[in-house]
Amino acid sequence: MKTIYFDSETTGLEPFSDRITLIQTYYDGKIRFNKPKPENITRLKNLLETTLVVGHNLKFDLKFLKHHFNIEPTHLFDTYIAEVLISGGQKAGQKGASTLETVAWDYAGIKLKKDQDMRQSFKGRELTQEQIEYAAMDVAVLPEIHAKQQIQLKKLCLEKVFATEMSCIPATVWLELSGTPIDLDGAQKLEKETRGKLELSRLNVLTILKQSGYRNLDLEGMPAVNLNSPAKLLKALKDIGLELASTNVSTLSAMKHPAGKALKEYRKHQKLLNTFLEKLPKHINPATGRIHANFNQYGTLPGRFSCSRPNLQQLPKDKNIRALFKGNNGSKIITADYSQIELRILAEVSKEPKFLELFNSGGDLHKLTASLIFNKQLDHVSKEERNIAKTINFGISYGMGGGRLQANLKDNGIEISPDEARKYIDTFFKNYPKVKEYLDNAGQSAVRNSQIRNIAGRLIKYRPATNESERADILREGKNNPIQSLNADILKGAMGRLYHRLKTHEIRLINIVHDELVFEVPGEHAETASLIVKEEMEAAGREYLKSVPVIAEVKVGDVWQK
């Protein structure tokens, strides 16, 4: 397939309000400059959609091409993502580590002049010689970078993982251009309700402090304490006899005093208000009436997406929050997530017989774990015991110890002692020895080699540990990263598949959250689309999970569902 090296210049960063003013291509030994005129666009569309397009951070340029000219290249080589992948994820989210300027210097020894004023000077007028040289260099450096990165990808056996990443770029463009619909009136109503709850929870904290003997009162007879100041709050708690090192979540969860629970309730409402309800409306794009967040396809060390402006991946799993995301004009929302995907991955990689048998028979893993931990028959396991087992099952590959288990359960209203927490985890590993063996080996391998791979071949590198704390971090991450990263590979594979199956049916991919995809679909297409989503998500998982079934649970409704 023919290769074209590609870049573009725009009037700004926003495809809905800015435009392309210049398109640079380099092929057949010649650099070409194209103004976005109709006769050029037709030729470029045919060229870019039928060749391998090499560029740096292609998502940015492809959003402009799709929005303004309906050009959708799908055969891609992104030198930015290649660089992060070659680094074993270490350059993910590291500012300046994978810019074209940095990569050009590292691979070609060429120092690009990336002046911000020059970058923003392409406004459509006649080009100056300086602008021509600037634009030309952005594509002139790509062939050498491309050639050397191909060698590195092959040397590191990363070609298959890279192909998955490249298949995901058009889907990420689809996601960001689709945007997320939000019920603004509903958001404003919920904001008002949350302000009321925040004030009530504030008064509850102050009342508890007063009842506990706090004496520095204001004119209204309530404790004069700024609950948003950790230092002042610590002093107030000390005044009622509570000596605490901090007021973080784990400390509050461990508190026996009622002030701990009351403060957590206060902070829950405060976070909902400050982090989400006040900020979400500010991100609505005036041109579309939707939120167009930034999704970084390789935003974390193990290859998961990250999200910003705003972070739609950290929205609480609160039905009131999710109900704000509803389809427009009668459209339906398809919510699709993988059932216990990380536990199924753990079963695949550990080959733990009880896990394999359970998933293949369609049983309840949490109930099984509870029956083993509490030495009970399955039908005698209580709801609370199952919840304890569920917390252990999901936390074990994250290196959860007894203290974290105790705190997590307390957050859900379940009180256990430190001895009970340690006993439960020990019993878990005793009953699932292959899980323990896999996790121990993975953690030790990561520490020993400063790297680890998942079964898809993705490479995850760590900086060598220089002290015991860093060693403990690598040990913990080495257990979990192969699982978490394969989850990312499966989801990206599903996105690439679904882009080709659904993009032509007025269907929008509106959010992704770790193991979950969310779509907005015209009502008449909802049933068909939901079947396609389930089919392709499960097919993507079966590429890697051969010993257990992969199940995507798909719901269709008027809003984004839990």
The torsion defined by the Cα of 199, 200, 201 and 203, in degrees rounded to 10, comes to 90
Instruction: Tell me the pLDDT band of 519, cut-offs 50, 70 and 90.
Output: very high
CA distance 47 to 173: 19
Q: Which residue type, as a one-letter code, is found at position 155?
A: K
Task: Give 520's strand partners.
Answer: 333, 508
Q: Please identify which residue in the block is written with the tokens 């406004």.
A: 123
Instruction: Tell me the pLDDT band of 414, cut-offs 50, 70 and 90.
Output: confident
Residue 336 in this model has a pLDDT that exceeds 70? yes
Query: pLDDT tens for residues 262-296?
Result: 999 999 999 999 999 999 999 999 999 999 999 99
Least confident of 304-308, 415-419, 487-491: 415-419
pLDDT score, position 121: 65
Q: Which residues of 154-179 are buried (b: 16+ CB within 10 A; e: fewer)?
A: eebebeebbebbbbbbbbbbbbbbbb
Q: Please identify which residue in the block is written with the tokens 């199924």.
A: 344
Residue among 301, 269, 253 nearest 87 (CA): 301
Contacts of 368 (CB under 8 A, 6+ apart): 354, 358, 378, 389
Residue 411 in this model has a pLDDT that exceeds 90? no
CA distance 264 to 252: 7
Task: Give 559's strand partners.
Answer: 326
Query: pLDDT tens for residues 476-486?
Result: 999 999 999 99
Instruction: Tell me the pLDDT band of 407, cut-offs 50, 70 and 90.
Output: confident
- Here the tokens at position 2 are 């023919």
Give the predicted TM-score (pTM) of the model: 0.94
Query: pLDDT tens for residues 128-177?
Result: 888 888 899 999 999 999 999 999 999 999 999 999 999 999 999 999 99
User: For 188, how many CA atoms within 13 A lie in the half-sphere containing its CB?
Assistant: 4
pLDDT score, position 538: 98
CA distance 55 to 7: 6
pLDDT score, position 119: 62
CA distance 404 to 326: 36
Query: pLDDT tens for residues 108-125?
Result: 999 997 766 666 666 766
CA distance 286 to 292: 11
Domains and CATH numbers, the chain: 3-156 (3.30.420.10), 184-280 (no CATH), 295-341+488-557 (3.30.70.370), 342-481 (1.10.150.20)
**CB neighbours (10 Å) of residue 101?**
17
% helix / strand / coil in the chain, to the nearest 5?
55, 15, 35
CA distance 279 to 311: 10
CA distance 180 to 197: 27
pLDDT score, position 406: 86
Q: What is the mean pLDDT of residues 201-211?
A: 96
Cα distances (angstroms) measured from residue 170 to each of 65, 119, 313, 532: 11, 25, 20, 18
pLDDT score, position 408: 84
pLDDT score, position 101: 95
Three-class HEC string of 447-501: HHHCEEECCCCCEEECCCCCCHHHHHHHHHHHHHHHHHHHHHHHHHHHHHHHHHH
Mean pLDDT (the chain, rounded): 94
Instruction: Tell me the pLDDT band of 498, cut-offs 50, 70 and 90.
Output: very high
